[in-house]
Structure 1
Amino acid sequence: MKLPYLLLFLCFMLSCSASAATWSNTQLHINHGRFENPFSQQQASTTVYSLQHASGYQYGDNFFFVDYSKDNVHDGYQDGDFYAEWYSSFSLAKIAKYQSSYAGLSDISLVFGINAAGDAKVVKYLPGVKFNWNITGFDFFSSTFTLYQDDSQGFNNGGAPKQSNSWMLDFAWGYPFVLGDQKFYLTGHVEYIADRKNEFNAQVNNWILAQPILQWDLGRNLSMPDGQLMLGIEWQYWRHKLGTKNSESVLQLHLAWRF
């Protein structure tokens, strides 16, 4: 996807989310680290620019992010590459006034997601269910179970090989805490995606992808509003990266700006 189309997509998503939002949080993230391509074993110093948005509305909530990555490898993709995920949840508590008899469970939502990758021409659909939990000290804690259904263009159309359908389990959290007079935030997610086959009947291994982020409220020390400018470290651990037998552990410098 070329950059102008990507910008149009972002404007559309933000306008849809903002039009009826009861709350919203939009952030720009910049991450920098050194990653390895599990197919070529080539390493690259990579900067990832991410626009991330979450908002709530009358019937549920929306979340999406778009990553635009640039590395120092000259592979013919002059405009870099993008990866995007979008999820819309429909809350039973908001729509049907559902109240759980279990105190730790605050809500159950039906969820639908789309994952898309640019150069690989990959599209995945993720229908499922999300559970929101009340855990002391956490801003949020959720567990999501979805199907992982492939609608990619496939090898003959210049993309990555199509895959059989699978399923995903994801945990996400946000935990603020204070040390002395400094404010910190621990956030991130961990996902498990079950194994599957590609269009050549080759094994695509299950994977675990963990991306915890430890943020320090730098902006607060520069007389900015709390939580506006965050500096920290993101650790990416990927067991069986992209379904290969390779695993990776990378620390990245992380900067986040909240609009």
Structure 2
Amino acid sequence: MHNIAWTRSLGRWTAATVFLLAAPAAAVAQTEFHYQYGRLANPFSGARHFTQILTVQQASIWSLGESFVFIDILEDGVADGFNDLEFYGEWYPTLSFGRLADRTVGTGPVRDVALIGGINFDGDANVLKWLPGVRLSWDVPGFVFFNTDVTAFIDASSGLERGGAPRTTDSFMFDASWGAAFDIGSQSFWFTGHAEYIGAATNELGAPVKGWILAQPQLGWDIGKALTGAANQLFLGVEYQYWRNKLGVDEDDNVAQLWVMWRL
């Protein structure tokens, strides 16, 4: 998987807010711009470089489900074939059984069940992954949303033959994502993020691709509200990234990064 800018599965569904979840069935969308800065590992060389990540992401609700898409642009300032002004993206549309049936589908803390169809793509490494699966949306006190996804992780990449990263055997993914808004005194905060496990595989050269754990919690202070009174627009905070077996090799990330979010 050399040269893949997979440093962000970031914030799958993290753009969802009370506004989106309370919206009517008509389509509604929310767009965000994120900036991150931190010292991340090149898993194939072991070197660590300060990396800038600019993200454009959008969460939306349509009549029968939801959609989340983001595109990252990554640059680490080092011409080493990894994160060299690279782009990477993911898209996750869902089809809600509750919206199809026009009633609550679930029991106990499960408030909805949905089909999910994800796609992960990397331009420079010619990587393409399909992630069909099932989502459970949970009713967790204090959280705006809490979702768990179980999907296949199907490799449809072009592989070495066309100059890309090595193709791999298929695997699976488990992901949990969340968002919670809270106040401390007069200050407002947004706690969001996701954690995933992707199972082990084998690449087309016969080499093992280790299963990995990636967790990316984010904590943001509503600095726009604090300084100007304009709430839910500009956040300043930190993202902590823990990535065990980054991109399937024996290298880890364990780092805090500057995180700035501008919400339209």
Fold match (TM-score > 0.5): yes
By how many angstroms is 1:77 displaced?
8.2
Partner of 2:7 in structure 1?
Answer: none
Contact persistence 2:116–2:132 (CA under 8 A): yes
2:137 aligns to what?
Answer: 132
Higher relative contact order (Cα pairs below 8 Å, separated by 6+ residues): 2
Could you tell me which of 200, 205, 209 is aligned with 2:210?
Answer: 205
The answer as to 2:118 corresponding to 1:113 is yes
- Counterpart of 2:253 in structure 1: which amino acid? E
Residue 26 of structure 1: CA displacement?
Answer: 0.8
Q: Which amino acid aligns with 2:194?
A: H
* Aligned counterpart for 2:53 among listed residues 44, 48, 63: 48
Letter aligned with residue 56 of structure 1: I
Match of 1:222 among 224, 227, 243: 227
- Cα deviation for residue 100 of structure 1 reads 3.8
1:171 is matched with 176
- Unaligned 5+ segments in structure 1 are 1-19
Please list the CA deviations of residues 5-56 of structure 1 after superposition, one character each: whole Å capped at 9, or x if unmatched: xxxxxxxxxxxxxxx9533221000000011111111222110000011010
1:27 equivalent to 2:32? Answer yes
1:70-99 deviation line (CA, Å, top 9, x unaligned) = 111024789710110001000000012353
Shift of 1:211: 0.4
Aligned-pair identity in percent equals: 43
Q: Supply the AA of the counterpart residue of 1:58.
A: S
Q: Distance in 2 between matches of 1:122 and 1:182?
A: 42
Q: Matches of 1:132 and 1:79 in 2, distance apart?
A: 37
1:86 corresponds to: 91
Cα distance in 1 for partners of 2:125, 2:47 equals: 17
CA distance in 2, matches of 1:107, 1:74: 46
Letter matched to residue 33 of structure 1? G
Going from structure 1 to structure 2, the CA distance change for 1:143 and 1:101 (only over 3 Å counts) comes to closer
Q: Note closer, same or farther for the CA distance 1:175–1:141 as it changes in structure 2 (3 Å cut).
A: same
Indicate conservation of the 8 Å contact 1:152/1:162, yes or no: yes
Q: Which protein has the bigger helix share?
A: 1
Give me the whole-angstrom Cα distance separating, in 1, the residues matched to 2:83 and 2:150.
36
Paired residue type of 1:186: F
* Distance change >3 Å, CA 57–CA 253, structure 1 → 2: same
Distance in 1 between residues matched to 2:238 and 2:140, nearest whole Å: 24
| Selected match of 2:107 from 102, 108, 118 | 102
Report if aligned partners of 2:41, 2:252 keep a CA contact under 8 Å in 1.
no
Alignment of 1:233-244 (within 5 A): 233-244=238-249
Taking structure 1 as the reference length, what is the TM-score of the superposition?
Answer: 0.89
**What per-residue deviation string (whole Å, max 9, x for no partner) do you get for residues 96-120 of structure 1?**
2353452311100011010001211
